[in-house]
A and B are shown apart, each in its own frame.
Chain A
């Protein structure tokens, strides 16, 4: 069945709200407006203001309220409009949600799910185009997810809600309108493993979130030039699924990591380090990465495109590893 990423998310939320009275949705414009990205459209009328709660523009306050509700036995889903604004709630997420189990000596867990849009590509300029997944993936105590497919958009919420600890879900803003084939696999989606989306022999393209489709596009272009690329969708940014990643590295012996974050201190850097640690002797070339340019994201369309990872850059990096540049 064909569906959009937005619709897949909507159905997942609907399932959760309909099946568990402890679940409620909270965030800016999620109620009467139907969600900044229209994911919760119609929920306000269906589930009422108690369970679909519009909040003031204070990320610190409403993320904190969500954590409190989780501590009190609820299963809150907190929508932070975008990762850009989540910086205001960092203290709640990093110092409270991620650490409460530890600080309470295991007495309390925080079963909150925090959703947020991420990424650039829509000419929203420097302050509204961040890709800061790595900030959260850095923190022990959090599970960090990056659904890129309609299956994952549909299937990741239920296991995230079932997790007794805080889960952060990143939805790339460019993906909401993306249409894909929803397979029956969504029912068995887990939040621990990476996935090979396209098998190949010559080079592994590792990507997550919005860059997954750029990697798949690049793989298609590479195929036209006789290069058989494998695409690994990380899916879970913390904890990283080393086993799937290394198995792919051992097959292809060459890796390009694609990451919309800035290069320095990026998740791409962490993945490269792990490959060095675990699969050095299986490499035929240094691990390469395609990240965003280290500049504030430009507003102008052509400059924004130039600053972001693009299929052409991925293709060039892969060919360089194969000595075909």
Chain B
């Protein structure tokens, strides 16, 4: 039997609320399948599963808020019988009971598998009228938390409506997100010894290359300058891997791939930095497509759980807001953040002459525990160098 637990979907997340099950008992699932939608302080996230098996029972009920690590569902391993799963369950329950220190969240099975022992689920059944059940679904009320006033304590439609009226006002996502950002950034500044570097990168070649490329394309197919910038960062990280990964338990753990967290400001306030995976291996058009998709889904609050947890470094681009220099705060447990400012025409000395040159200031905020300034300078230099040969950035391989 496999226990599917609520994963942490970001450094600041310590609990989540189940919004929707995307599977039901009996459904086969594979690695990467979206099984549930969970509301975190930042957004509603499609939660993926990383095991293969068959859903046996859904433990967590709709609208329940539980800590990270709580069992959400149980799965049968390939070939496992429900009887075996029941036995496993009993065994684990006994173990939990034997270890009093373990805080076992007491969650009654909300939906038992059809295959489960007949009659096993009846005790947990809520006494609720058909009209009330329908209304509860419409209003998003969890009937289990409503006291019934009908015959024999049956929950009636009025009970549901009363509960809806007195329910705590819906979560203020903005203040929740503010709190989450505060927690993560305070932790960053408390724990991470930042150092900061910056360099100006001339973009005449890259701009020209991009303009030529976009000339005969429709608006929707055009590539933004942000794309070669992201690609250059990813490519430079191949050479300087100590900026790509996480600092965990006192040591740097290199990332398994180069997954750039892209900071996206949300219209309603706050920000989110979901990941684009393996950016170093993506061609320019594909990267543009992924970026556009990610921004759209981040703003629609329909991100996947892997996108929330996979980033190995964050890239932030505040150029659109007009600033020239970003001095970033690292998103823990990452070890670096690359910032780009506004591309501006500046006087630039080239071949002994002053010319007007489009220039961007690239900055690096890095964790001194994982890297030193010397290597940081080389990383920024590599990014600058790669952007002078934009054509090479479009290679599929490196």
Contacts and interface: CB of A to CB of B under 8 A. Distances in A.
Interface of A: 253, 280-285, 320-323, 325
Contacts of A320: 151
Contact of A283 (B131, B149, B152, B158): B131
Contacts of B131: 253, 281-284
B185 interface: no
Contacts of B140: none
B32 interface: no
Most buried by A among B133, B151, B152: B151
B130 A282 contact: yes
B22 interface: no
B130 A323 contact: no
Contact of A253 (B129, B133, B151): B129
23 contacts: A253-B156, A280-B130, A282-B130, A282-B131, A283-B129, A284-B129, A284-B131, A284-B154, A284-B156, A284-B157, A284-B158, A285-B129, A285-B150, A285-B154, A320-B151, A321-B151, A322-B150, A323-B148, A323-B149, A323-B150, A323-B151, A323-B153, A325-B151
B130 A281 contact: yes
A317 to B, nearest CB: 11
Given A321-B151, A323-B150, A285 B134 contact: no
Contacts of B253: none
Contacts of B158: 284
Contacts of A284: 129-132, 150, 154, 156-158
A65 B63 CA distance: 71
Interface in B137-178: 148-154, 156-158
Contacts of A325: 151
Interface string B363-390: 0000000000000000000000000000
Contacts of A322: 150-151
Interface in B109-142: 129-134
Contacts of B151: 285, 320-323, 325
A252 to B, nearest CB: 10
Interface string B170-202: 000000000000000000000000000000000
Top 8 nearest A-B pairs by Cβ distance? Answer: A284-B129, A284-B156, A323-B150, A281-B130, A323-B151, A284-B131, A253-B131, A281-B134
B93 to A, nearest CB: 36
Nearest to B160: A284
Nearest to B133: A281
Interface in B72-128: none
Contacts of B157: 253, 284
B134 to A, nearest CB: 5
B130 to A, nearest CB: 5
A320 B129 CA distance: 14
Nearest to A249: B131
A226 to B, nearest CB: 14
A283 B130 contact: yes
Given A253-B131, A282-B134, 8 more contacts: A280-B130, A281-B131, A284-B131, A284-B154, A284-B157, A320-B151, A322-B151, A323-B151
Contacts of B149: 323
A323 to B, nearest CB: 5
Nearest to B155: A284
B127 to A, nearest CB: 11
Interface in B261-275: none
A321 B149 CA distance: 10
A285 B158 CA distance: 12
Contacts of A321: 150-151
A325 B149 CA distance: 11
